[in-house]
Amino acid sequence: MKKSLIEYVISIEEKDDLHIIRLIVLLQALTGKKQNFSIEISELAKLDFFLRYPIALQKALSILKTSKMIEISETEKNNIEVKTLYFHYSPWNIKFRKLLKVMAARLLISWNLKGRKVEVELTTHAYSALSEITDLEIFENLRSQSKLIKTHLSTLSQVKINSLINEILVETTFANLGERL
């Protein structure tokens, strides 16, 4: 039996591979030349939020009044997830922690808890995977957006990141409610 488009999209969303690639690319950008770094899990989840939802990154860059902007396709702007972003997003989502555990089980990262922070290190398997996808044009946006996140967002305080996310979520939610009214 042939799957409907919705069933197909749901089946892709449930697969971890694309989420893992996104996180590896983000971690590599955040790590830079260092081999490992420390970050709070909730902070990593929040930075991943901006990478997962380019519309949120675009709005954050606009709010921060940076000269850098990203191009977003109509598909990304009108994505069903964007319309339900307020209800879908949570940096404490169990799925995010599960994803880190899957990455560790696949030997893509090693991580240790250090108080409230997690020390993350990309493994040689992760760098091998990165070298395979580096040449693929389809992941170019992920790489460039990850660099923007490192440059403009990773240095912000948790309070400022929370404020940005709240502003984006409220703006997106009310914009979508206005479309329906």
pLDDT of residue 80: 60
**Structure-token pair, residue 118:** 């997690």
Residue 65 zone, left/alpha/beta (φ > 0; ψ -120 to 50; rest): left
User: Cβ(61)–Cβ(176) under 8 Å?
Assistant: no
Q: Which of 47, 24, 21, 63 is nearest to 151 (CA)?
A: 47
pTM beyond 0.75: the answer is: yes
Q: Say what the pLDDT of residue 48 is.
A: 92
**How many whole angstroms separate alpha carbon 34 and alpha carbon 60?**
26
Whether the Cβ atoms of residue 118 and residue 40 lie closer than 8 Å to each other: yes
pLDDT tens for each residue of the chain, 181 residues long: 676 766 655 565 567 888 899 999 999 999 887 766 778 888 898 999 899 888 889 989 999 998 887 877 776 666 666 666 655 565 556 788 888 889 999 999 988 888 877 788 889 999 888 888 877 888 888 999 999 999 999 999 989 999 999 888 887 766 654 554 4
| Predicted local confidence at residue 153, as pLDDT | 94
Which residues have C-beta within 8 Å of that of residue 57, sequence separation ≥ 6? 50, 51, 70, 145, 148, 149
Q: Which pairing describes strands 36-40 and 117-122: parallel, antiparallel, or unpaired?
A: antiparallel
